[in-house]
């Protein structure tokens, strides 16, 4: 499959999930079936053949790690995968390409503009999406080899494992072990500002300063209340002014207080309405005459 959303990619991910569930059962018959089908080597080969599918990478990685975690019956399947010369050669080659690409980027960043140009025909290796899962699998194999001599012997027989892959694993472990934000400060040292810090004493001093600031007399409190009342009065006056201005704008009145003219406007409106709706008055003779 060449695209992430293809049907082949989806089916491969589903099959890998089923294999991971089968490995989670930790049954010797299930692991024997995986070993007989050479499932781990196929999963690792599928991982290297699909550079840009994180869903499939996670599923394939889960299958391999589930088998590695089974220390009772999983060693045989793991050793069989390590002895697959073609697949492990690709693993070493991917790590070597990653190292070359990183060194090329570092050299280009350190070189000044116009100097130390790249050699003709040289192009850094493009990074791929499966390097993270691949490094995780190799790190688990390295950790397993430190406990199981059979796995360590199989890894040592892989050409380039000790020279290329192991230094990458150790470098990544060192990087991940570094604390975020730099080294932890030495709070117990004699030059540290926290060496003689007393939390309770600092709290008592802060509360004492707070009490000093809030020690007000009755006259001070009365002045504060008067200032607060005055501020409220100013705000209310400003609010009424804005309301009158809005009412005047709606009524179309300029320079007059619309609230004072509400009664006059209502009376004039009532007179106009009655004049329009009132029928014609009868004639003095008491009836309508037809004027011809």
Query: Along the chain (292 residues), what's the average pLDDT of each consecutive run of 10 residues?
Result: 60 90 88 90 89 86 92 85 92 88 80 53 56 90 91 92 92 83 60 60 68 62 76 84 86 55 52 48 46 42
Please report the pLDDT score of residue 143 as a whole number: 92
Please report the pLDDT score of residue 113 as a whole number: 56
Please report the pLDDT score of residue 10 as a whole number: 82
Please report the pLDDT score of residue 271 as a whole number: 54
> Taking the chain, what is the end-to-end CA distance rounded to the nearest angstrom?
102
Radius of gyration of the chain (CA): 43
Please report the pLDDT score of residue 195 as a whole number: 56
Please report the pLDDT score of residue 51 as a whole number: 80
Please report the pLDDT score of residue 212 as a whole number: 53
Please report the pLDDT score of residue 140 as a whole number: 92
Please report the pLDDT score of residue 267 as a whole number: 55
Q: How many angstroms separate the Cα of 136 from the Cα of each of 4, 64, 219, 247?
A: 22, 10, 73, 73
Please report the pLDDT score of residue 176 as a whole number: 83
Residues 177-189 as b or e (16 or more Cβ within 10 Å = b): eeeeeeeeeeeee
Please report the pLDDT score of residue 5 as a whole number: 52
């Amino acid at each position: 499959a060449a695209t992430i959303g293809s049907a082949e990619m989806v089916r491969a991910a589903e099959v890998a999930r089923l294999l991971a569930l089968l490995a989670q059962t930790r049954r010797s018959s299930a692991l024997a079936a995986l070993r007989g089908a050479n499932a781990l080597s196929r999963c690792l080969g599928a991982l290297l053949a699909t550079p840009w599918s994180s869903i499939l990478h996670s599923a394939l990685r889960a299958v391999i790690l589930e088998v590695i975690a089974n220390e009772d019956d999983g060693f045989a399947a793991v050793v069989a995968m390590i002895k697959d010369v073609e697949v492990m050669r690709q693993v070493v080659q991917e790590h070597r390409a990653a190292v070359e690409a990183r060194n090329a980027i570092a050299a280009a960043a350190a070189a000044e503009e116009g100097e130390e140009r790249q050699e003709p025909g040289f192009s850094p290796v493009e990074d791929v999406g499966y390097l993270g899962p691949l490094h995780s699998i190799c790190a688990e194999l390295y950790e397993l080899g430190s406990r199981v001599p059979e796995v360590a012997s199989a890894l040592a027989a892989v050409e380039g494992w000790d020279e290329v892959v192991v230094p990458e694993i150790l470098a990544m472990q060192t990087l991940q072990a570094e604390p975020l934000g730099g080294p932890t400060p030495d709070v117990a040292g004699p030059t540290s500002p926290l060496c003689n810090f007393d939390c309770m004493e600092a709290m008592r001093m802060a509360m004492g300063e707070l009490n000093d600031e809030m020690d007000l007399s009755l006259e001070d409190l009365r002045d504060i209340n008067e200032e607060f009342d005055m501020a409220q009065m100013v705000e209310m006056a400003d609010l009424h002014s804005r309301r009158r201005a809005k009412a005047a704008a709606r009524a179309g009145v300029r320079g007059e207080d619309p609230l004072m003219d509400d009664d006059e406007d209502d009376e004039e409106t009532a007179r106009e309405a009655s004049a329009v709706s009132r029928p014609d008055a009868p004639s003095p003779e008491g009836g309508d005459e037809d004027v011809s």
